[in-house]
Structure 1
Amino acid sequence: MEQDEIYLIDLWRTLLREWKWFVALLVLVLAVTFAFIHTAKRQWEATAWIQIGQVGLAPPGQDPKVEPLARVLERLQLVPFQNDVMKRMGYSPDTPEARLFRKSLKLEPLPYAGPLIKLSVRGLTPQQAQQFAQATVEQLRAVHQGVEAAPLKLAHKRLDEVQSDLQNAMSSRDQLQQSTGKGAGADTALIESALARKDEEIHKLQETRSDLAARLSANYTYETSLMWPIYVPDHQAFPNPVLMWGIGLLVGLLLGAFAAVARNAARRGGSRP
């Protein structure tokens, strides 16, 4: 403990003795920090929460999502997909905007919230960052619309078939009801038995139709879309002035202390015979 105190006192005396070197390095680093903050290109970050679309008529035991969460994450990280996003906005893949988009794109899966995907991307302006995020969601939606087209077509076809069968069954029941008063004896019993079976068939078809309609409703079948509006903070994401000044001050203090100690050591070495 005493050695530590002596060392700190010696270090403090060294800094006082070589204060010019300490201050020079500190001022130099702070000047570089100031120049970097005012010359670096500013970047804003947009955050979007993507809800993966689903078709509610998936077979039992299968994921109703259009695409599994892990596959969507892989798709969003594919360079061809990212290039398609840029083409949607009118940028070629080798432009600075496209490089910034690919470099800054970050994904965070939220499996227990939907699932959802938290997407963040940067732009040179707040509007551009928001457009990058919006274009990414739109491109993913376009891909998923092609994937879900066939299942949705089959689902609506099945609903139309059930509706047609229900109408035919109800027409047959009406005919049986009209025939009830014309028969007698055994014929009446047969008609009533057929009428009971037809009522049961109609009831099952109505249940099937209701189930299909519910699964095709917006609660169970929907497209890939934004869960909430895209968020872009008012302040820039890069360079962060507070963070950069803090780093610059810390680095300046460390380099200044190192320069003072090195200069003191060199002075002592030069004074020895």
Structure 2
Amino acid sequence: MSLEEKVPQDEFGLRDVWEIVLGRKWLIIATTAICVGLALAYVTLATTIYESRAMVQIGKVAGQPLDNAPQLASRLMNHYTLVNTELAQKQLPKLYAVTPDKEDGIILTLKARARSPQEAQQYLQGIIQRLLANQQQRYDQLFKARQAQLGQMQAEYEDLRPPLNAKKRMGKAQTDSASALLLLEQSRRTETLSTMLVAIANMENELAPVNTMPTIETLSPRYDPNPVAPKRLLILVLAMVGGLMLGVFLALVQNGSRRQADRVASS
């Protein structure tokens, strides 16, 4: 049996594919043109969407954040997103994303989308203003509570601390009577005062600006003049590539069908 007889007649190589493509080039061109035309119609009719971006740093009181960043992000998205999923996808302007920073857990990045850059910026600015107002209210409550605790502790310290003339009288009484009870009482009071003084110093440090600060806007809302959707160039390129692939596939299918019909007719 010769080598030619061993090779099935149905097998063909790249040269055969190329010949099929050339022979049905108008089918491939027409398919590509249709795909590109549909993509062009889509990008022309689709709503152009622009995005605005801002960053917020969550405040803290005594070193503790006012809010948990992921929980705050979830609350914001739930508050500004429609319950109906289908309507939420079409909603414009809308809060598109609230993302906590991976490296700094108190930083939130907010993104809003709208039909124009200015609309996206204004919408996001309104969200930021309401967020800062709510955070400021929470900050004021916690800060005042901490200040009240500090004031109470300072007042208790002053009440326990004896005046100078009382110290002199106590010292004289101890010299005259050598009272062990008075010495013990003085030692206990001194220890209590020292403990309170340390606690007062710690609380004052916690209320220092480095550990206590309100929520601030670290990046004001700004927009990109280039739309984020639809990606016109990308869609057109994908349509062209997809159209070419679909055209080649149709050409191969058509060629295979014709060969099958010829084989049936010859048999």
Instruction: Classify the secondary structure of the residue corresponding to 2:163.
Output: helix
Matches of 1:184 and 1:206, distance apart in 2: 27
One-letter identity of the residue aligned with 2:31:
L
Answer yes or no: is 1:100 the counterpart of 2:74: no
The 8 Å contact of residues 44 and 232 in structure 1, kept in 2 or not, is answered as yes
Q: State the partner residue of 1:173.
A: 163
Q: State the partner residue of 1:50.
A: 56
For residues 9-45 of structure 1, the C-alpha deviation after alignment (integer angstroms, 9 at most, x for no partner) is 2221111001111111112222222233233221122
TM-score by length of 2: 0.70
Answer yes or no: is 1:21 the counterpart of 2:13: no
Matches of 2:43 and 2:174, distance apart in 1: 100
1:1-273 correspondence to structure 2 within 5 Å:
6-56=12-62, 64-78=64-78, 81-82=79-80, 99-102=91-94, 105-165=96-156, 173-176=163-166, 186=175, 207-268=198-259, 273=265
Greater Cα shift, 252-261 or 106-115: 106-115
The 8 Å contact of residues 53 and 222 in structure 1, kept in 2 or not, is answered as yes
Shift of 1:207: 4.3
Matches of 2:174 and 2:23, distance apart in 1: 125
The 8 Å contact of residues 69 and 115 in structure 1, kept in 2 or not, is answered as yes
Matches of 1:97 and 1:227, distance apart in 2: 29
Shift of 1:154: 1.7
Give the 3 Å change call, closer, same or farther, for CA 127–176 of structure 1 in structure 2: farther
Aligned length: 250
Shift of 1:155: 0.6
Matches of 2:110 and 2:62, distance apart in 1: 25
Q: Any unmatched runs of 5+ in structure 1?
A: 58-63, 85-93
Give % identity: 21
The 8 Å contact of residues 173 and 199 in structure 1, kept in 2 or not, is answered as no
The structure number with the bigger radius of gyration is: 2
One-letter identity of the residue aligned with 2:71:
R
Instruction: Classify the secondary structure of the residue corresponding to 1:228.
Output: strand
The answer to which structure has the higher strand fraction is: 2
Cα RMSD after superposing both structures: 4.1
Give the 3 Å change call, closer, same or farther, for CA 174–148 of structure 1 in structure 2: same
The 8 Å contact of residues 121 and 221 in structure 2, kept in 1 or not, is answered as yes
The 8 Å contact of residues 61 and 139 in structure 2, kept in 1 or not, is answered as yes
Shift of 1:252: 1.6
One-letter identity of the residue aligned with 1:232:
Y
The 8 Å contact of residues 51 and 114 in structure 1, kept in 2 or not, is answered as no
For residues 64-102 of structure 1, the C-alpha deviation after alignment (integer angstroms, 9 at most, x for no partner) is 222323422331232xx1169xxxxxxxxx999981355
TM-score by length of 1: 0.69
Greater Cα shift, 23-32 or 108-117: 108-117
The 8 Å contact of residues 83 and 98 in structure 1, kept in 2 or not, is answered as no
Matches of 1:38 and 1:184, distance apart in 2: 98
For residues 229-267 of structure 1, the C-alpha deviation after alignment (integer angstroms, 9 at most, x for no partner) is 445333211112332222122212122212322343454
The 8 Å contact of residues 173 and 198 in structure 1, kept in 2 or not, is answered as no
